[in-house]
Structure 1
Amino acid sequence: MAPTAFFNPSDDGRLHPTKYSHSLWAPNTLHGPAVCGVAARRAESEFGRDGFRPARFTVDLFKAARTDPTDTVGRVIRDGGRIRVVEIDVVQYPANSPDPVTVARSTTVFVRESANPPGERWQRPALQVSGPEVAADDLISYFSRADDVDPVWSHDMSPMQAPVRKRLWTAGVPIVAGEALSPFERAVIAAESTSLVGNWGDTGIGFINCDLTVVLARLPREGRVVVETDSHVESDGISTSTANLYDADGQFGTGAVVGVNNAAAEIDFTTVDTRERYAEG
C-alpha cells in the first residue's frame, strides 16, 4: 500500500503529486494544502536557523497548480540579527512545455526568540477542545459547529453545509512520503483550511482562496490542530476570512485568506465523499 502523502520523491530530485494532493476544484489540479506545504517545507528545511522561529508565512497562489512534477526554488531576502526573510517559488514541469511554470510564491519571516517584554496584556482565554476518539493513523478531518458548547464531531461534511461558524479538527497529511511533518508544516497545512471553514456556506464552497497568511506566536504542540472560523466578510465577489489556530494548550496562531468568486466550479460537499483522499477545497 502506498504511503499517505501529498508527494512522492523521485531520483530526478522533483516531487511527484499523489492522489492525496488532488483538488476538487478541477481535474488534474492540486489543492492548497499541498502547494502551501511544499513551500513551507523548503523554507524551513533549507533556510531555518537555530534560535529563529517562523512567525509569518504568506503565499500567493497566483496560478492553478497541476498534477505535474514539482520543485521549489528559494532565496534569502533579508538576513538580520532579529529578522530573517526567505522567499520560495513553487515551480512545476509540464510534460507539454519546455519551460518550468511558477505557480506560487511564498515569503517566510523567521524571528529571533527572546524573552517577552515586561507587563501583562490581554490574550484570548485558552480553548479546551476535545475531539473524538480516533486511531493514531487516522488522517481524516472532523468538523463541528464552533458555537456549540458541547461540539459533535463528524467526518460527514453534509450536516455542516449551512451558514454557521465552523470548527475543523485536522491531523495533517505528510507533504513528502517518508518524512514526518514538522510543527511549522503542520501549522501551515492546517491554516490553509481557513478558506474552507470561512467560505463554506449552505450551497457549498464557491470562493477559492488566492493566498494564505499564517501568523504564529509559537509552533503547535504534538497532536491535531483546531481551525476555528473567526471572521468572514464578502462583497462584490471578494471575501476575506480569518481563523484561530489551536492545539491542546490553546491558541498559537491565526490564518487569513482572500477569496475570489469561483461559483462556476462550486464544490457541493453533500455530493462529494472526501474520506478516501485529503481534499478540502
Structure 2
Amino acid sequence: MGQPSFFTESNGRFDPTRFSLSLWGPRTLNGPAVCAIAARTAEITGSADGFRPVRFTIDLFRAAREEPTATTATVLRDGGRVRVVEVDVLQHLDDEEPVRVARSTTVFLRESVNPDGERWSRESTDFDPPSVPEDDYYPRFAADATTAADGTPVDAIAWTSDLAALQGPGRKRHWTHPLPVVAGEPPSPFLRAVIAAESTSLMGNWGTTGIALINCDLTVALSRLPRGVRVGVESDFHVEDDGISVSECILYDVDGPVGTGLVTAVNNAKAEIDFTSVKPEDRMKQT
C-alpha cells in the first residue's frame, strides 16, 4: 500500500479511505478527516500573498458517514488585512438536497511585524518531543504523573504508541504526523495544524475508563504555522459539568508552541471508546 491519506479525489468528490474511519461507530468518519477536508477547501479558496490562516472553527452538525463527500466555499470577507472563508462539508450528494454535516469558518490575516514592547509568552522549553522515524505515521502519546481521586500516586507515562497504557487520569500529550488529506497531496503546514488539533478532544476527554465525551466543534488559533511534518498537542485546560466539557490544548512543533486548540464536548458514554479493548493500531497499519 502507498502513503496513507484520509480521502481519494475524483471529479470534485472525496471518497473516504480506511484511515478516515472513526472508532465511535461503524461506517462513520473521524473528526480529523472531516476537519481536514474543510480546512483544505478553505486554504485553497482563501490563500493570497501575504495572508496567513490564523483561525479555523468548525461546527460538526452530525456524524459524517463512509460515503462520497464534497465541499463548497464562500468568501465572506476579502479585506486588506482580513479574509474570511466559509466552507460546508456535504454528503448524500446524489439526493435532491445534499446533507450538510459540518460548516467551518477560516480567518486569514495579513502578515506584518510585531509591535514594539515586551509581552509575556509561553516558554518554548517546556516541550520535549520524541524521536520518530520520518515515514512512521503512527502517533505517540505521553502522560504526566498525577494523583488519583483516592489519593493513589499515578506514575508518568513516557512516550509510547500503546494507547491502553495512557488510560489514566494524568495530563496527556500527543506527537503526531498528520496524514495527507487527499492521496498524493502532502498536507500544508496549516492542514497539519488543524488535523493535529482535532486531538484536543482526545487529550482533554480521555480518562480512566476511556473517552466518553464527543466534541461537536473545534477551534484552532495559530500565531505561526508549524515547522516540520510533526505537530504536538498537549492538554492545557479541562473542565466538565452536567455531561458537558471544555478542553484546550497547546499546539507545538520542534521549535515550541504555535497556537491552541479548543473544543466543547457532550456526554457520549453509550459509545465510550475503551482503549484497553479497542485496538486502533489495526486500522492505522500502513501495510
Q: TM-score, length-normalised on structure 1?
A: 0.94
Q: How many angstroms apart in 1 are the aligned matches of 2:48 and 2:36?
A: 19
SS at 1:222's partner residue?
A: coil
Q: Distance in 2 between matches of 1:83 and 1:8?
A: 32
Task: State the partner residue of 1:65.
Answer: 64
Q: Does 1:90 align with 2:89?
A: yes
Deviations 1:100-150 (A, max 9, x none): 111000000000101111100000111354444432110001100146999
**Residue 140 (structure 2) aligned to one of 139, 142, 161:** 142
2:265 aligned with 1:267? no
Other-structure match for 2:211: 205
Contact 1:146 1:229 in 2 (8 A): no
Instruction: State the partner residue of 1:54.
Output: 53
CA distance in 2, matches of 1:129, 1:21: 29
Equivalence for 2:22: 23
3-state secondary structure, aligned to 1:277: helix
Q: 1:151 to 1:164 in 2, by over 3 A?
A: closer
Read off the aligned partner of 1:255 and give its amino acid letter.
G
Residue-pair matches, total: 277
Partner of 1:218: 224
Displacement of 1:13: 2.0
Answer whether contact 2:69 2:93 (CA < 8 A) is retained.
Answer: no
1:122-271 alignment runs, 5 A limit: 122-127=120-125, 129-146=127-144, 152-271=158-277
**% same residue:** 58
Q: Which amino acid aligns with 1:134?
A: V
TM-score, scaled to structure 2: 0.92
C-alpha separation in 1, matches of 2:131 and 2:219: 31
Contact in 2 for aligned 1:146/1:228 (Cα 8 Å):
no
Point out the more displaced range, 97-106 or 247-256.
97-106
Is the partner of 1:88 in helix, strand or coil? strand
Matched residue SS, 1:76: strand
Q: Would you say the 8 A contact 1:37–1:175 is kept in 2? A: yes
Contact 2:69 2:90 in 1 (8 A): yes
1:4-15, aligned counterparts within 5 Å? 4-10=4-10, 12-15=11-14
CA distance in 2, matches of 1:147, 1:224: 24
CA distance in 1, matches of 2:58, 2:139: 23
CA RMSD between the two structures: 1.8
- AA of the residue aligned to 2:114: N
Shift of 1:45: 1.3
Question: Distance between the aligned counterparts of 2:125 and 2:100, measured in 1?
Answer: 39
Distance (whole Å) between structure 2 residues aligned to residue 128 and residue 137 of structure 1: 26
> What CA distance in whole angstroms lies between the structure 1 residues aligned with 2:36 and 2:261?
14
* Counterpart residue type for residue 70 of structure 1: T
Structure 2 distance, partners of 1:200, 1:259, is 12
